[in-house]
Amino acid sequence: MASSLFTAFALVFIIEGILPLIAPVLWRETFTKMISFTDGQLRSIGLVSMLGGLLILIMVR
């Protein structure tokens, strides 16, 4: 169980690191735009991201 959890965290870090590695300007612009979002908009983005991840997980399993 712990091994799977650490593997999942490692994959998150790898995926999160791709954009700043290949397009740092786009990454910086994206974060600059996100600062102006309201809390509700950020929560919506988080919810959509979580549901997308859950859907992928269900499809893979």
Domain boundaries of the chain, sorted by first residue: 24-61
CA separation for the pair 4, 12 (Å, rounded): 12
CA separation for the pair 37, 49 (Å, rounded): 16
Q: Are 19 and 27 in contact (CB under 8 A)?
A: yes
Of residues 14 and 61, more confidence is placed in 14
Average pLDDT score, the chain: 92
Beta-carbon contacts of 42 under 8 Å, excluding residues fewer than 6 positions away, are 34
Q: What is the pLDDT of residue 4?
A: 87
Q: What is the pLDDT of residue 27?
A: 92
pTM of the shown model: 0.71
Phi-psi region of 29 (alpha: psi -120 to 50; beta: other; left: phi over 0): alpha
Position 39 pLDDT exceeds 90: yes
Arithmetic mean of pLDDT, 44-55? 94
Position 2 pLDDT exceeds 90: no
